[in-house]
Chains A and B, each alone.
Chain A
Amino acid sequence: MKRKSLILLVCCLLFFLSIISACGENDAGSEQGLVGGAATLVKEYQSLDELVADAAEITEINVLSQETITYQDIPFTISTVSVLATFKGTLKVGDTIRIIETGGEFYPTDKVGKKLPKQTFKLNGIPVLEKGGHEIVMLSKFTGPQVEGDVYTPLGVYQGRFKFDSSGKLVQQVPESQKIKDYKPINKEKFVEQIKTRVHK
């Protein structure tokens, strides 16, 4: 009798706890940091495997100079970068390439095309590469009407960008909710090892 009651009580508690826990998971915050931004990506990468597989070039870069153009009301920053090391693709150390990203400083316009105060456009809150910036980037070839010639763009808008932090670790440049699942900031040697393993798969 006592045993039956105990089982019933435990079941009751477990049921209650599972419901409470489900409520906790579903409760959504309203802060921007929790929810990403207002853009829909063509492909949202879930793993380093996917990024490495899709990258035409994986390279360590240093940003030399930048130019921001506005095309159809959206700013695009074109960074000229020098290649410091390569891990996949056809680029060579010492090459200079261009990388285009959505974002940067621009003058938005109102409904009648009147210029509004200067803004810095950060897609889903992520700033574009910065002058002097040092990163490892996973790139695809860019084609579009706003720029001519050979230009690259980071995979997954920003998901293919890994920036060196002050301790030398590579931090993926993404909103929290779009971080790839199998990566935590590590130093260059370990990161390169992980890339090479995947390139040679």
Chain B
Amino acid sequence: MMKKRISSVFIVTVIFSLLMANSASAYATWGFTLTGGVKDRYYYVDPSNPKFSTITSAVAAWNTIDPVYISPSQFSSTDVAFYYTSSVLSSQIDFYTSDYGTTGWYGLTLFYNGTSMYPAGSGPTGPYTWCKIQLNSTSSYPAPTNTWLAIAIHEMGHALGLAHFSGSIMDAGIAGLTTPSGLTSDDINGIRSLY
């Protein structure tokens, strides 16, 4: 009788624990979102931008999730959809690339609400309507293509509302990893928690 009761408690505990584990959040957000959401929106990058193809691939990574990592029940490609526009006035995320020298950073994201800018250099402190992503293309920081792709995905993650979190594409040290990852389920869950 006693054994049966303990077994029941064990089974209930295991089920409860698994449910708790699934609901745990392994991501961090700014706590604020892109006004109007992340579906059917636009990004701008000048075709002469030296990182044009990397940026396009980064946007595609957010638009289409690899089913190897993410099950369709968690995320569908319609959750995030950014289309290219050649008009900077119609976009919500603008990518720029310049040689800023050996500043110590590869990329940063700036947040705006209409014609006002949130405290520069940090995350937004309220809802925002557009973002500017600046990539540093100095030749003093040569990086493999997959690292640049990870940096562009990372910065776009900031623009979508994610903050730094270790072990995901939002890892602050993503550029230093020898084999930076693509999107993880944590990143996707972070976006899903926001929109």
Residues of A within 8 A of B (CB): 1, 4-5, 8-9, 11-12, 15-16, 19-20, 22-23, 26-32, 34-44, 71-76, 100, 102-103, 106, 108, 110-112, 114, 116-117, 119-125, 140-147, 153-157, 177-178
Are A28 and B27 in contact (CB-based, < 8 A)?
yes
When A and B form their complex, which 7 residue pairs have the shortest distance between CB atoms, in order from nearest?
A: A144-B101, A30-B31, A35-B163, A28-B28, A157-B104, A121-B120, A19-B17
Considering the chains assembled together, what is the distance between the CA atoms of A1 and B164 in angstroms? Answer: 51
Are A16 and B121 in contact (CB-based, < 8 A)?
no
Considering the chains assembled together, what is the distance between the CA atoms of A40 and B17 in angstroms? Answer: 35
Against A, the Cβ 8 Å flags (1 = close, 0 = not) of B102-130 are 11111111111001110111110100001
Determine which of A32, A142, A143 lies in contact with B30 in the assembled complex, contact meaning CB atoms within 8 Å: A32
Decide: A40 near B117, CB < 8 A? Known: A8-B6, A73-B134, A144-B101: no
Are A29 and B120 in contact (CB-based, < 8 A)?
no
A11 partner residues in chain B, CB cutoff 8 A: 10
Determine which of B20, B104, B121 lies in contact with A42 in the assembled complex, contact meaning CB atoms within 8 Å: B104
Against A, the Cβ 8 Å flags (1 = close, 0 = not) of B63-99 are 0000000000000000000000000110000101011
Residues of B within 8 A of A (CB): 2-3, 6-7, 9-10, 13-14, 16-18, 20-21, 23-31, 88-89, 94, 96, 98-112, 115-117, 119-123, 125, 130, 132, 134, 138, 140-141, 151, 154-155, 158, 163-165, 172-176
Are B24 and A22 in contact (CB-based, < 8 A)?
yes
B94 partner residues in chain A, CB cutoff 8 A: 111
Considering the chains assembled together, what is the distance between the CA atoms of A4 and B2 in angstroms? Answer: 11
B89 partner residues in chain A, CB cutoff 8 A: 111-112
Are B28 and A40 in contact (CB-based, < 8 A)?
no
B154 partner residues in chain A, CB cutoff 8 A: 40
Name 8 interchain pairs, CB-CB below 8 A, sorted by A. Answer: A11-B10, A12-B9, A28-B28, A28-B165, A39-B109, A40-B107, A111-B88, A142-B102
Are A122 and B120 in contact (CB-based, < 8 A)?
yes
Decide: A32 near B123, CB < 8 A? Known: A12-B10, A15-B14, A146-B100: yes
- A115 CB to closest chain B CB (Å) equals 10
- A107 CB to closest chain B CB (Å) equals 10
Considering the chains assembled together, what is the distance between the CA atoms of A30 and B26 in angstroms? Answer: 12
Are A120 and B164 in contact (CB-based, < 8 A)?
no
- B96 CB to closest chain A CB (Å) equals 7
